[in-house]
Structure 1
Amino acid sequence: MSQLFQLFEGVLAGRPDTNPWSVDGICRFQPDYDALAHLIAIPIAAGSASQSGRLAKAIDVWAAGELRRAGFDADEVWPRSTPPHVLPRELALYLRELPASQRSEAEARILRAKQIAPSDARVLGRAYVKQVDVLVAQWSRGPELLVSTKSMVSSFRNNLPNRFEESYGDAKNLRGRYPLVSMGFLFLLRSTVNDDAGTLDRVIDMLRKLQQEADIYDTTCLVLAEWADGEAFDEVNIRNDLVPADLQAEAFLKVLVEGVLDRTPIDMHVAVRERREHRHLGLPEVDEASQSEG
């Protein structure tokens, strides 16, 4: 998996840091679908598309990258773009302040200490600890944005009920402890789901139902990826033409980011607000970690 992460990181590192918010008078989030297709293609080209979690990891890396494009600090978004992929923001700030001669040794020690830099982000919900796929958090604020990702490439009709049952329970568990968190569910399916009569309609219906209650997801997203099998594999196409607008990544990311902004004061996440509004706010970013009581 570490080699896959290195390939994922190479895809995003080679892309320009563009502002995803539109400037045509209508506030829209413009996802980098080209990066998404390239990331999904990596495990498929390696012959590991059907292995549990490989495609979902590609989605995790992409979603985290889109949140950084939105303006969230690189060290408050997990998975991070470089190892360790899960690291408290405050510890990352400390490492940056170290002299270069000490930083390399400290980073190496941290990478070996799984209790400090685990491979997965886990947070306590109302009833149990849950692995979270994509997360925006700071020590003083706790989780502010959570995304759960799932993927499925075959046996859709048999596996769908389990996927939605898991997703519904996870949302209740996390929302029970973090009522103000901006939370979403992203579902990646191979486009062959459309060949099974009625199954795609069932997926769309269930994804919409997962955002109808106030104490579950703020938003849900469906990504349909199309590719050829075996030696015929060439590239991945994202089939937005088969997905309703309200379940596409454009709407999904907009709701997630704006959910965080709506639930925090204007002097928090200033860079995100400035990117969204295409203007300088002239406000210093509040950093509770650096403040002391007078």
Structure 2
Amino acid sequence: MASRKDKMNVFNNIMQAWEENTTTPFYNESSEPQLDYGFLRSLLAIPVENGSSVRSGVFANALDLWLAREFEHAGFTDECIWPRMEEPRAMDPSLVHALGAVSSLTPPQTEMLMHAGGAQKDANVMGSVYTKQVDVGMSNWLSGPEMLVSTKTMSASFGKNLPNRFEEAYGDVKNLRERYPLAAHGFVFLAHASILDEPSAFEKATHMLRQLSRNGEVYDAVALLIAYWDTSADIEVSDDDAIDKSNSWTDVATVTFPERAVKAIPPDLSCEHFFKTIIDIVLANSPVDAHAEARKRLQDAACRE
């Protein structure tokens, strides 16, 4: 389905190349996630090279796609983690399996059935007060939402914008958690490395993130990512001018994770801690015969210890 232009299509080649070539297990010998930050760099490089601003939403799209692919890498395969690698980005897994079992459908027939089955460009989830578009998640008709992750990106004006972003994040999770108390709720914040040049803003960001995960009453896990990219040409271009300039997720120089940024992130706000916590909650809150591949990969890692 492509009734509206999908901004995520600009990442398709990189995602396909990564899926075909990545061989590193999700877990290391200590059963800790080993995330592919090179893959994230390559995704973030697309909006940088295209001159897109953070306000365009393309940086957020890159982050969302990376999170979804890493959850799949952890073993949540064939469960339609959204955003999916292809259009439509949000689709119930039962519909995907049903369409895959019918080989005689023409493309127009497939598109019609997708639309009739509720496939969407975005994933809108009903909360206790209002319906919310959720950036990354996993759900099906039998279980309902099992994982709901919100993301925010920011490149400047931290002192002015941080309170607003975190106020939104707090309201969103309260709205969703009241309706889905057993789901794993997560929040990931990507900031430009210039936040480290504003010590008060960085301290405020880490404090607010911890407040969002206090006692598991708000989010179950939160993560902070700090990346550097050149913002001197931060001029937003139209979607039609955006070009996928690479088929590789390696050797990307336009986006980096500076050593001082990596060291500045507290362990409890790391992406490794975030993934481990969210995955543990999803598996703990579901029947033992659910998410078989995710359980197997975690068990295999434990056997290597």
Q: Same-fold call, TM > 0.5?
A: yes
Shorter-chain TM range is: 0.7 to 0.9
1:76 maps onto 2:98 in alignment:
no
Any gaps of 5 or more consecutive residues in structure 2?
A: 235-251
Measure the CA separation in 2 of the matches of 1:218 and 1:252: 9
Offset from partner CA, 1:186-243 (integer Å, 9 cap, x none):
0011010111231111101110111014331000001111022447994111232221
> For residues 83 and 110 of structure 1, do their structure 2 counterparts lie closer, same or farther at Cα, with a shift above 3 Å needed?
farther
Secondary structure at the residue paired with 2:214? coil
> For residues 174 and 17 of structure 1, do their structure 2 counterparts lie closer, same or farther at Cα, with a shift above 3 Å needed?
farther
Q: Structure with the greater relative contact order (CA < 8 A, sep ≥ 6): 1 or 2?
A: 2
Measure the CA separation in 2 of the matches of 1:230 and 1:138: 43
1:14 maps onto 2:17 in alignment:
yes
Measure the CA separation in 2 of the matches of 1:142 and 1:3: 26
Aligned match of 2:240: none
Measure the CA separation in 1 of the matches of 2:106 and 2:278: 34
1:235 maps onto 2:242 in alignment:
no
Amino acid at match of 1:203: A
Amino acid at match of 1:153: S
Aligned match of 1:290: none
1:67 maps onto 2:71 in alignment:
yes
Q: Percent identity?
A: 36
Offset from partner CA, 1:9-51 (integer Å, 9 cap, x none):
222221225421112xx22011111101111111111111333
TM-aligned CA deviation for residue 115 of structure 1: 7.9
Secondary structure at the residue paired with 1:136? strand
For 1:29-178, list aligned pairs within 5 A.
Answer: 29-99=33-103, 101-110=104-113, 113=115, 116-178=118-180
Measure the CA separation in 2 of the matches of 1:279 and 1:50: 37
Offset from partner CA, 1:159-212 (integer Å, 9 cap, x none):
000011111111111100001111100001101011123111110111011101
TM-score (norm 2): 0.85
Secondary structure at the residue paired with 1:147? strand
Aligned match of 1:267: 289
Measure the CA separation in 2 of the matches of 1:40 and 1:2: 19
Amino acid at match of 1:255: T
Aligned match of 2:249: none
Secondary structure at the residue paired with 1:38? helix
TM-aligned CA deviation for residue 106 of structure 1: 2.6
> For residues 3 and 77 of structure 1, do their structure 2 counterparts lie closer, same or farther at Cα, with a shift above 3 Å needed?
closer
* Native 8 Å contact 1:179 1:215 kept in 2: no
2:280 to 234, 258, 277: 258
> For residues 96 and 225 of structure 1, do their structure 2 counterparts lie closer, same or farther at Cα, with a shift above 3 Å needed?
same
TM-score (norm 1): 0.88
Offset from partner CA, 1:226-279 (integer Å, 9 cap, x none):
022447994111232221121111111111111101111221111001111117
Measure the CA separation in 2 of the matches of 1:228 and 1:58: 17
